Amino acid sequence: MIKLFLVEDEIAMREGIKKHIDWESEDIEFVGEASDGELAFPMILEKKPDILLTDIKMPFVDGLELSEMVRRELPDTQIMILSGYDEFEYARKAISLGVTEYILKPIAPAALLEKIKQVQKKIEEDRIHQKHLSNEEKAETIEQDRLKLFSALVMNTMSMPDILSQGKDLHIGLTGRYFAVALFSFRVEGEKENDYSEVRNRFRLELDETVGAYENWYVFDREENGFALLGVGSDEADFADEVPEVVDEITALIEDTDHASYFMGVSTIVDRLSRVKDAYYEANRAFSKRFLMQQNQVIYADEAAEKEEEDEKAVMDLSVALTNESAGRTVESFLKTGTFDEIAPFVENIFESIGEKNTSSVLFVSYITMDMYVSVARFLKELGYDAAECMRKFGDINEILKDYDSLAVIIDFMKNILTEAIHIRDNTAEKKYGSLLAKALSYIDENFRSDEISLNNVASAVNVSPNHLSSIFSKEMGMTFIEYLIKKRMDEAKELLMTTNKRSSEIAYEIGYKDPHYFSYTFKKTVGMTTKEYRARGEHE
């Protein structure tokens, strides 16, 4: 049964609608009424109706204002507007608010009921869809949407109202006063990046449970780049205590996982949502130190300067231990998993870590720079590129070192070279996706009729993580894995409808649907007509 709430300032109209329709027999619960939007809004928030039927012209808060407020707080509520004002501006505003129906008064109860029943049918179909949507299907879409929201936050590519609205849709509360960001890696000894990993899958579930125990802390899966955490607080002192507590819980969880390691960078606390990008920069700078330091460490941004001083002393005491380990090896490690936004802090950290005294030495800087340069060239050669040609575009390294008069010039030079190398790496990886995707599509072709097929078992079959496979599908196919699977099944259904006399229910079972009703709903939603209409169309052609 669905719930309906009525807002109408004309008492005769309100009573007529309320009494001239037998709501219970229509499987509709009439949950409340009000004479204007101001009175109605708190009642609507309490009752949470499936349908809001509201007049447009009312005192205090009119129907459009009420619709906007309800759409913001209860996005799933279907809004039907009644209006005696056949004006374009009202209709245009209603459409922009996502109003389901715009109905002109006067309207007979029977005609109104017919409109309501149409909306009721849509709600019930959506409920069927949600009921049958697997947790995995929901997770794939939600995971991608969450990561897009996080990227928009840290890249400042979305307006504040849109960020808050999308956050609400994804159950991410962003209305606090204080924010912190943490970035961390999760590595399992012997496992390659993006390979299918039961250990990582289990860890992700445990991570969600651990973080979920804290109010307003959220996990974002960045695939091979690890995880991001966003914390939101209302009291600065309490939040300051909570940040290290959450960090300790997560590191303890990883330490309890056999053969797993981590590295985490944690920002300072910022005091407004627009500064989350600054918190991300701090966390990312600290996180980029993972290429230079031992694993299983947490680096807090506000302690980073002190840590760098300690590292500098250690380097000096050991005659620059970095050269013994080789800056080149550090670069090789970075080129495998580093990201574009880590390039700047990574290069800066390398030169900071060798100490101010050593960076004043032309000979020493030349050694470090050449070591890094050769490592990039070797990496590009392994990818099958003409390293000499790639490097020539940045200038002759020997001439640059010969004319060296500023460390900043060398740092910019290395940043540019690493940026080009990562571009080439990512383009090469995308070409490899073709082979991996072909295997995944082949597996789907052979198994899409099974009701057991899922993103997880396809990922396992091609030996990549589910998140990575989902990402590849979205990038290369222009649709999610689930959307592709549904399309594959619907194409098969259309063929069976046109070439056999099988009933719709038989076809449903044959192509992997346990529930024929859900199959019928999905077919109509994706094809635009019922199975019966589709078959009849073929008979008349």
What is the DSSP annotation of 390-450? Answer: HHHTT--HHHHHHT---HHHHHHHHHHHHHHHHHHHHHHHHHHHHHHHHHHHHHHHHHTTS
Confidence of residue 133 (pLDDT cuts 50, 70, 90): low
**CA–CA separation, 220 and 137 (whole Å):** 17
Q: Which residues contact 418 (CB under 8 A, 6 or more apart)?
A: 331, 334, 335, 338, 343, 346, 347, 376
pLDDT digits (tens, 9 = 90+) for 469-510: 888 888 778 888 888 999 999 999 999 999 999 999 999 999
Domains and CATH numbers, the chain: 2-132 (3.40.50.2300), 135-299 (3.30.70.270), 318-447 (no CATH), 456-540 (1.10.10.60)
pLDDT digits (tens, 9 = 90+) for 441-463: 999 999 999 988 888 888 888 88
pLDDT exceeds 70 at position 57: yes
In sequence order, what E strands does 206-295 have? 217-221, 227-233, 260-266
pLDDT exceeds 50 at position 144: yes
Kindly state the helix (H) or strand (E) to which residue 80 belongs, with its residue range: strand 78-83
Q: Report the candidate in 324, 378, 332 with the shortest Cα–Cα distance to residue 353.
A: 324
Q: 220 - beta bridge partners?
A: 228
Q: Is the pTM of this model over 0.75?
A: no
**CA–CA separation, 103 and 55 (whole Å):** 9
So what's the pLDDT on residue 175? 87
So what's the pLDDT on residue 312? 44
pLDDT exceeds 80 at position 125: no
Mean pLDDT value across residues 12-19? 88
DSSP per-residue string spanning 468-520? HHHHHIIIIISS-HHHHHHHHHHHHHHHHHHH----HHHHHHHTT-S-HHHHH
28-42, 347-361, 362-376: range with lowest mean pLDDT: 347-361
Confidence of residue 322 (pLDDT cuts 50, 70, 90): very low
So what's the pLDDT on residue 134? 52
pLDDT exceeds 80 at position 408: yes
pLDDT digits (tens, 9 = 90+) for 193-248: 666 778 888 898 899 999 999 989 999 988 878 899 999 999 999 999 999 999 99
φ, ψ dihedrals at 288, nearest 5° = -65, -15
